[in-house]
Amino acid sequence: MIATPQPLTMTVDTYLEWEPCQEVRHEFVNSKVFAMTGGTLPHNDIAINLLTALRPYIRAQGCRINIADAKVSVSSAIYRYPDLVVSCDERDRTALNAIQYPKLIVEVLSPGTESLDRGDKFREYRTLPSLEEYVLISSTEINVEIYRRGEGRLWLYTAYQAPDIIPLESVGFEFPTALLYEDVVIDS
């Protein structure tokens, strides 16, 4: 998703009450509210392909998987909307407003979101003790990057291209790169 300029300002309590009543989603970062615009069709197709493959496996493990319309509470001052999030924490099973203990977060990159997803969002997500993997999927080329939590503050980086098999170690699932890009039209 692409953040639009000119953010609103409000308290977190006001945001949590106001945001569900809005027609578009809004992220909340340190009292500033940013409207999110729609993504491209390739962006959406990639997210759907991953959800379709991963959902039965995740559900069988007793975990929760959500896409685009599910907020992640990074802190009491930051709420973000990743493209896909998985939580296996019992406390998130009955969550109504936001996922608080994600194990896996996926962002599908678009030209308008790539710097935010690689920069601020990754810095924020790294503060979540439950997060084990952060996945970045390009919507403009066949490229997948995964950051995996190592020891201490170390994050390990691995890139994947066709015809690689992508392991999501946090949830014990693997799939071919081609699965993500099935029926996705990439403008080259």
Q: What is the CATH number of the domain that holds 61?
A: 3.90.1570.10
102/121 Cα distance (integer angstroms): 14
7 within domain boundaries: no
pLDDT of residue 40: 87
125 within domain boundaries: yes
Domain total in the chain: 1
User: Within the chain, which residues score under 70 in pLDDT?
Assistant: 1-6, 37, 188
139 within domain boundaries: yes
81 within domain boundaries: yes
Reduced to 3 DSSP states, what percent helix, strand and coil does the chain have, rounded to the nearest 5?
25, 35, 40
- Residue 42 near residue 142 (C-beta atoms within 8 A): no
159 within domain boundaries: yes
168 within domain boundaries: yes
Identify any residues that bridge with 119 across adjacent strands, giving them in sequence order.
none
In which domain, by residue range, is 79 found?
38-180
pLDDT of residue 188: 63
- Residue 103 near residue 86 (C-beta atoms within 8 A): yes
pLDDT of residue 2: 47
Q: Look up residue 89 and give its two tokens.
A: 């924490």
53 within domain boundaries: yes
Q: Model's pTM, two decimal places?
A: 0.93
pLDDT of residue 4: 45
pLDDT of residue 1: 47
